[in-house]
Amino acid sequence: MAVGILIAVLVFLVLLVLFFIGTYNRLVRLLNEVKNAWSQIDVQLKRRHDLIPNLVETVKGYMQHERATLENITQARNLAMRPGSVSERAQAEQQLTQALHNFFVVVENYPDLKANQNFLALQEELTSTENRISFARQAYNDAVMNFNNVIQMFPTNIVGSMFGFKEQSFFEVEDVAERAVPKVSFQ
């Protein structure tokens, strides 16, 4: 009888230890995923910075009248590449996104440009990069959600707090205007 109880206690302890090890490793893996997702955003931003000189070079000849638009892009890019605090860089990236949006609206006026194979390829790359940036942010948020779920839910939250895992924060849209539901208005 006593042996039975002893075995039961031992089995319970072994299971408990296994649970702790499993949860700890899972948390480490999820946290690494969060970090990796975060660095992915930087990778994609870098990709965007590399594309821009190419773009400006290609379209310069076609868009004599859009000097300002192109200069905006180059300026925003240089600003974004400068080392600075996270919020400063985020703001610069925001500007760059805006400048590129304006550029793509203006491009509609240049049918010659839209027939240029080189430009079309660049446009595809830029579109893809813009997508990648937003997908990378979204993936980061998904990773954060997975991690936070484990950290907050019972019983894994016990392991999380024991080993000092902290909740991660989501990537939020800074610009309130961008978050608002878009509306079309006519004069």
Partner 1 sequence: MFELIRQNKRRSILLAILMLLFMLLTGYIIGASFSFAYYFISEPYAFSNEGPGVNPSPQQTVPEYPLNRYSSRTYQRPSMTYEEVQNFIWLYWGPLGAFVAFVVWFIQMLFAYYSGGNMLLSISKAIKIEKVDHPQLFNIVEEMKIASRLPAMPEIYVIDDPSINAFATGRSPEHSAVAVTRGLLNNMNRDQIQGVIAHEISHITHRDTLYMTILAVSLGTIILLVVGLREIIGAGIRGSTRYSGRNRKDAGGLILFLFVVYIFALLLSLIAPLIAQIIYFACSRQREYLADAGAVVFTRNPEGLASALETIAKRYQKQPATDVNQIVAPLYIVNPLETRNLDASSIFSTHPPLQKRIQILRSVAKTPSITYEQAWQEVVGKKWKKGTFTPTVAPAPSLEQPAPTTSSPITQPVCSTSLLQNARLSGDAIMKAQKYRFIDCSCGVKLKIPPNYTGRVLCPRCKAVHNV
Work out whether 124 is an interface residue with partner 1 (CB under 8 A). Answer: yes
Work out whether 62 is an interface residue with partner 1 (CB under 8 A). Answer: no
Question: Smaller CB distance to partner 1: residue 18 or 105?
Answer: 105
Residue in 14, 121, 153, 173 binding partner 1, rule: CB under 8 A: 121
Alpha helices in 108-165 (DSSP H): 111-115, 117-152, 156-162
Interface with partner 1 (CB under 8 A), residue total: 27
35-39 long-range Cβ contacts below 8 angstroms, 24+ apart: 36/143, 37/136, 37/139, 37/140, 37/142, 37/143, 37/144, 38/140
Q: Are 69 and 99 in contact (CB under 8 A)?
A: yes
Listed residue (33, 17, 22) closest to 148, CA to CA: 33
Q: How far is the CB of 145 from partner 1 (least distance, A)?
A: 9
Q: How far is the CB of 133 from partner 1 (least distance, A)?
A: 9
Work out whether 180 is an interface residue with partner 1 (CB under 8 A). Answer: no
Q: Which stretch binds partner 1 (CB under 8 A): 17-25, 58-66, 122-130, 156-164?
A: 122-130
* Cα separation of the two ends of the chain: 87
Amino acid at 179: R
Q: How far is the CB of 153 from partner 1 (least distance, A)?
A: 13
Q: How long, in residues, is the chain? A: 187
User: What is the maximum span of the chain, computed from C-alpha positions, in angstroms?
Assistant: 93
Question: Smaller CB distance to partner 1: residue 109 or 161?
Answer: 109
Q: Which stretch binds partner 1 (CB under 8 A): 57-65, 72-80, 98-106, 157-165?
A: 98-106
> Which residues make up the interface to partner 1 (CB under 8 A)?
33, 36-37, 40, 44, 101, 104-105, 108, 121, 124-125, 127-128, 131-132, 135-136, 138-139, 142-143, 182-184, 186-187
